[in-house]
């Protein structure tokens, strides 16, 4: 196997994790608002480059409003993804919605942009980085299982319902393997290759994840993987995550 290829599990499996702990995401949110990081204190500030944030499975841009506001507060131009509800073929979301947002950010800022994705949004972000590396400065994933769909059984059941709807809407003969790791579209093909060296890569995860198996959210490179306390949902509202994001965005903006 080429050293540029990444092994991705081609089966979906139930993770041995407890989802009830995700209710504690409210603690992450509360602690965020008491942290100096949230007010832009003690972290490096940006150069007004564009940052596009992408929501997770069954989520919309709305729940990432805290992150969007904070990114602007520390000196970047923040953009919501514009993909709507993240419950559609990722390939189509990228091609018909997310790419429009990226083009706008590129035009507004005149430079490469950064992508931040939560959960499935991070998987989408990595795929975009592989498809258009000349436009992307960095990609940051938050609890994103980009090496395999190993998740709590309730998430797998929800994903199967989305898959059934996609097949009914677009035709089973058109997208027969959509929403599985056996899909052959551009989305998954780009994930099978390592993120281009020109793109700074960051994978943030929590060992307390109650949604996906955190072992599949890591690159295996200690310089790119960052573990934080908290919940899967709470990664979008976690002060430790925000501190890492600020540091990595700043590093990605420096000459390399």
Using CA atoms, how far apart are residues 78 and 200, in angstroms rounded to an integer? 18
The first and second tokens of residue 55, run together, are 């929501």
Q: Are 217 and 209 in contact (CB under 8 A)?
A: yes
Joined tokens for residue 13: 């499996």
> Which H helix or E strand runs over 54?
strand 50-54
Say whether domain 13-252 belongs to CATH 3.30.365.10: no
Give the residue from 234, 249, 227 showing the smallest Cα distance to 72: 249
| 225-227 vs 150-151, strand pairing mode | unpaired
Provide the residue ranges of all domains of the chain, joining segments of one domain with +: 13-252
pLDDT at 108: 98
Residues in the chain: 256
pLDDT for res 105: 98
Give the per-residue pLDDT at 147.
Answer: 86
Q: Which among 1, 40, 19 is positioned nearest to 152, based on CA atoms?
A: 19
**Residue 212, Cβ neighbours under 10 Å: how many?**
25
Of all helices (H) and strands (E), which one includes residue 201? Answer: strand 200-205
Alpha helices in the chain (DSSP H): 25-32, 65-73, 90-93, 99-109, 120-131, 153-170, 186-191, 239-252
Per-residue pLDDT of the chain (256 residues; tens, 9 = 90+): 334 555 566 556 777 788 888 998 999 999 999 999 999 999 999 999 999 999 999 999 999 999 999 999 999 999 999 999 999 888 889 989 999 999 999 999 999 999 999 999 999 999 999 999 999 999 999 999 988 777 888 888 887 888 888 888 776 555 566 655 666 566 666 666 788 899 999 999 999 999 999 999 999 999 999 999 999 999 999 999 999 999 999 999 887 6
Closest listed residue to residue 236, CA positions, set 68, 110, 94: 68
Give me the residue label for tokens 């003690």. Answer: 42
pTM, two decimal places: 0.91
Q: Which residue has the tokens 């190993």?
A: 150
By the 8 A CB rule, do 131 and 142 touch? no
Which tokens hold the place of 155? Answer: 């998430």
Q: How far apart are CA 248 and CA 256, in angstroms?
A: 13
In whole angstroms, give the CA distance from residue 154 to residue 93: 23
The pLDDT of residue 166: 80
């Amino acid at each position: 196997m080429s050293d540029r290829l990444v092994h991705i599990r081609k089966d979906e499996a139930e993770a041995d994790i407890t989802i009830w702990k995700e209710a504690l995401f409210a603690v992450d949110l509360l602690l965020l608002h008491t942290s100096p990081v949230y007010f832009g204190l003690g972290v490096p500030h940006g150069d007004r480059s564009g940052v596009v944030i992408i929501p997770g499975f069954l989520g919309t841009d709305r729940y990432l409003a805290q992150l969007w506001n904070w990114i602007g507060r520390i000196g970047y131009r923040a953009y919501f993804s514009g993909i709507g509800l993240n419950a559609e073929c990722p390939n189509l979301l990228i091609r018909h919605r997310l790419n429009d947002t990226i083009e706008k950010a590129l035009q507004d800022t005149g430079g490469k942009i950064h992508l931040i994705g939560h959960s499935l949004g991070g998987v989408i972000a990595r795929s975009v980085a592989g498809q258009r590396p000349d436009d992307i400065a960095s990609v940051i994933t938050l609890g994103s299982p980009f090496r395999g769909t190993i998740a709590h059984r309730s998430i797998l059941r929800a994903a199967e319902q989305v898959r059934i709807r996609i097949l009914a809407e677009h035709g089973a003969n058109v997208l027969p393997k959509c929403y599985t790791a056996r899909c052959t579209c551009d989305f998954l093909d780009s994930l099978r290759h390592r993120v281009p060296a020109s793109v700074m890569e960051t994978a943030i995860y929590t060992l307390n994840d109650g949604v996906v198996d955190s072992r599949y959210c890591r690159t295996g490179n200690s310089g790119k993987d960052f573990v934080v306390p908290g919940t899967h949902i709470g990664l979008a509202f976690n002060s430790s995550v925000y501190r890492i994001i600020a540091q990595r965005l700043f590093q990605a903006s420096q000459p390399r």
